[in-house]
Structure formats: C-alpha cells, structure tokens
Amino acid sequence: MELRNDPRFRGITPFAGRIWLSSPTMHGDEQHWVDDAIATNWVSTVGRNIDEVEKAIAEYVGVKYAVGLSAGTAALHLATKLAGERLYGQARPDAGTLAGHRVFCSDVTFDASVNPVAYEDGEAVFIDTERDTWNMDPAALEKAFEMYPDTKLIVLAHLYGTPGKMEEILETAHAHDALVIEDAAESLGAKYRLNGRWTETGALGDYNCISFNGNKIITGSAGGMFLTDSKEDADKVRKWSTQSREAAPWYQHEEIGYNYRMSNIIAGVVRGQLPFLNEHIEQKKAIYERYKKGLKDLPVRMNPYDAEKSVPNFWLSCMLIDEDALAPHVRGEQEELWRHEEGKSSPGEILAALAAFRAEGRPVWKPMHLQPIYRANKFVTAEGNGRGRTNAYIKGTGADVGADLFRRGLCLPSDNKMTPGEQDAVIEIIRRCFD
C-alpha cells in the first residue's frame, strides 16, 4: 500500500509544492550584483564582487583574510595541502604532501571534509563522535594520539551548524603540536565561546573553510572560501587557485596549480545574500524551536548543542529516535527495508512518509568509517581501536556513536521558506508514524 493511503495518515493532504531539506533563498539583490558584473564586463575570476565578499566575510567571521574559491571542497583541498607542506615540506609534483602520514578526521561529516586527505596521499584515521553536539569526540581524539602519537593534523567539521567541543580539541591539538583544519562549511554564522571569548566558526582552526553550496545557510549557487589570519597562507592559496603562475611574462610554473578561484558572477550571488545571513539563521533557529516543541511528547530528541559555549546556526534540524521506540529496519548498501510496529518508527519509515507528502528529509550523514571507500581506514573510539570489535565469544561494548546516530537519526525538512503551517503538517506526519 502506498504510504499516503495508509489509514494512519488519513486527512493529511500532500504539500502543493515540495518542502525541501534546505534550498536556496534568494532576495533580489543577488540579481543586481550578477547584472553589475555582466554590465561592467567583469565576467571572470576577478572583479569587484569577489573583492567585496572576501572583505565582508573576513570581517563577519573575524579573520584577516578570506580567499574566494570555486567550492568549499577546493578550500578544504588547499587548506589540507598547506598543512601538508608546513608539516612535511613541498612534495614532488606527482605526489601528495601527506604521503605516508596519518590525519585525524571527523567521522560523521560529508565526505568533502576528508577526501582532500586522500587527494594529498594521506591516510585518514576517523575519530568517533560524542553525543553532546554530534561532533568529534575529544576523548576519542586523545585515544587516537595515544595510538598514533606521530600524527600532526586534525580535520574537523561542525555538523549541521552545531559547533563541536573546540576548547578540548584545541587543547589536545596544542599538547601534541598538531594543526587543525576547521571545516565550517555547514556552520557559517555559528559561534563558540573559546576560553571565554565568543569566536565565529571559521576562525577557530589553523586553516578554515566555508561553503556557499546551494544548500548552505547562504549560497552563491556554488563557491567557498579559505579563511586565515596569515597573509602568507592567503597569498599561497590565491596563487595555487589560479594555476600557480609565477611572476613572468609567459606562463611559468614552479608549483602544481589548480583552477579553483571563485567566479565574479558567483561572488555576485553571494554578495546579494550576505545581508541576509543573520535573518536566515533566525529563521533556521525558529524552525529548530518549532520542531523541538512539536515533537516533545514523542520518543525522539533533537540534535543537541551546548547552549553555554555555543550558538549554532541551526542549518539543519535533526532528530534521533529513542532506542526503545525504534522499529525494525535494515540497510544494505543502497536500499533499506523497514517494518512498522505500533508506537514505534524508524528513519526509513519517517523519510518515506515525508516523501509521500512531498517533503524532503535525509538520514543522518553516514559515518566515514562505514563508507565503502574508507572501510579499510582506521577508526578510533573513546575506548580505542573501533575496528574488529565484535567477538564471537565475548560481548563488546559496541561504542560507535556515529553508527548509532546513523541508525536512529534523520535530518528534517529545514528550509527557511517553509511556513509554520507547513512545518506543523510535517510534525503531524512524523507524529502519525509513531501511531
């Protein structure tokens, strides 16, 4: 039976238009700055829009330099390469800077955070997740340094716009002379109180990256930025991103180059979005609060954050189903099967029900250590090695927070154009899943 016709959902009508997880929200100024670029013929990877957004973002985040790039992934790649060069020296043109070296990485994140480690020939070691903010677990990070003390680089993301436990992580990083790459792609505008001082995410690491992908809190349709206080690093990234041209009249190259620079057209869209960043955050926060209230008597909880030490940007609202209210379900590599049980539900059932009424949700990001491509990589939990922990004879503790979040969690429709009435209908659909 089609879920829409299930008697549990009687009386609910499909949404007239689709309700998105998180889609671009345009305001009009974007068109003006794109038109301006075209009218002035700056249809290139140079132009005033780029200069202006670099200046405005650097000011907003509180760093000295911002370098506009084609994507957050490009920013992460060049940040990773910079860190590799600083730690281990310049690599041959046909080799990565991290060859033969381990890098400690967030586990529950989008793979763009960690793929640059592989681009640079490094070995990602995935660090398990804590339950208080769903980010890198400082205790697991400590364990990882015990196991692999030579490691000198950490890549961490702030999942869904919620800052991780930066104070503990930076303390551990400093104790081991390790550098930190901060992936703030999902968390632009989120703040963290570091040693008593409020600091924007994107200004907390040695190398920092943001994204203007279409689903982010503000967008350029694409685009990203590298953020830093180091002029030398900013200049290097600018050079690498424009094919590493040397100061010669002809094309002269001493380093491998990339075509990663931001376009002035995309920068025009970002320029139009910038004045609305705080408004978008307020809208996302209202969505989070409305879910929290609307779902409070169900056996679920929202993605948590530390209200004392952080202000998230609330990019995506998520929920986790209580263990004893989780209906049976299994996932293969590309499909899943679920079965309804009275009073219970599962991420698969809820996402199918939302889709039946034209609303988009998504499972919690599948942890990197469970991804086929990274299955051979090391994984460290607060208890130590997280691989090969099942034992035919002894019951293990099974500490694998990321796997648990993936099993029980889902991202809810969090589009800031969703009306309160539409969100109430989403909440009602979720509620009926537990009937």
Instruction: Give me the residues that bind ligand PLP (CB under 6 A), please.
Output: 71-73, 109-110, 112-113, 157, 183, 185-186, 211, 213, 224
Q: For residue 303, what are the CA distances in angstroms to 17, 105, 111, 282, 367?
A: 27, 21, 20, 17, 16
C-beta atoms surrounding 392 within 10 Å = 4
- Helices 29-39/264-273 angle, 10° precision: 150
How many residues can be counted in the chain? 435
DSSP state of 193: E
- Closest contact distance (angstroms) between CB of 216 and ligand PLP is 7
CB nearer ligand PLP, residue 165 or residue 344: 165
Nearer of residues 30 and 186 to ligand PLP, judged by Cβ: 186
Q: Which is nearer to ligand PLP, 67 or 327 (CB)?
A: 67
Q: Identity (one letter) of the amino acid at 93? A: P
Q: How far apart are CA 280 and CA 275, in angstroms?
A: 10
3-class DSSP state of 255: coil
Q: What's the rounded Cα separation, in Å, for the pair 129 and 105?
A: 11
Chain centroid to CA 354: 23
Closest C-alpha among 134, 193, 188 to residue 161: 188
Give the residue with the Cβ less far from ligand PLP, 217 or 353: 217
Kindly tell me which of 221 and 243 has the beta carbon lying closer to ligand PLP: 221
Amino acid at 352: A
For residue 226, list its beta bridge partners: 67, 209
Q: Smallest distance, Å, CB 73 to ligand PLP?
A: 3
Which residue, 54 or 183, is less far from ligand PLP as judged by CB?
A: 183
Shortest distance in whole angstroms from residue 262 CB to ligand PLP? 11
The alpha carbon of 98 is separated from its chain's Cα centroid by a whole number of angstroms, namely: 23
Strands 379-381 and 191-194, sheet pairing: unpaired
Q: Which is nearer to ligand PLP, 145 or 413 (CB)?
A: 413
Our CB check for ligand PLP shows the closer of 73 and 97 to be 73
Least distance CB 213 / ligand PLP (angstroms): 4
CB of 409 to ligand PLP, least distance (A): 16
CB atoms within 10 A of CB 303: 24
Q: How far is the CB of 146 from ligand PLP (least distance, A)?
A: 27
Q: Is 205 left (phi over 0), alpha (psi -120 to 50) or beta?
A: beta
Residue 242's CB: how many other CB atoms inside 10 A? Answer: 15
Q: Answer yes or no: are the C-beta atoms of 429 and 359 closer than 8 Å.
A: yes
Beta carbon nearer to ligand PLP, 226 or 357: 226
Q: Kindly state the smallest distance separating residue 432's Cβ from ligand PLP, in Å.
A: 31
CB of 192 to ligand PLP, least distance (A): 16
Nearer to ligand PLP, 211 or 377 (CB): 211
- Please list, in sequence order, all residues whose beta carbon lies within 8 angstroms of the beta carbon of residue 225, skipping any fewer than 6 positions away: 54, 57, 66, 67, 68, 69, 72, 75, 209, 210, 212, 262
To ligand PLP, the closest distance from the beta carbon of 224 in angstroms equals: 4
State the nearest-atom distance from the C-beta of 312 to ligand PLP, in Å: 14
Distance (Å, rounded) from C-alpha 423 to C-alpha 418?
6
- Which residue of this chain has its Cβ atom nearest to ligand PLP in the complex? 72
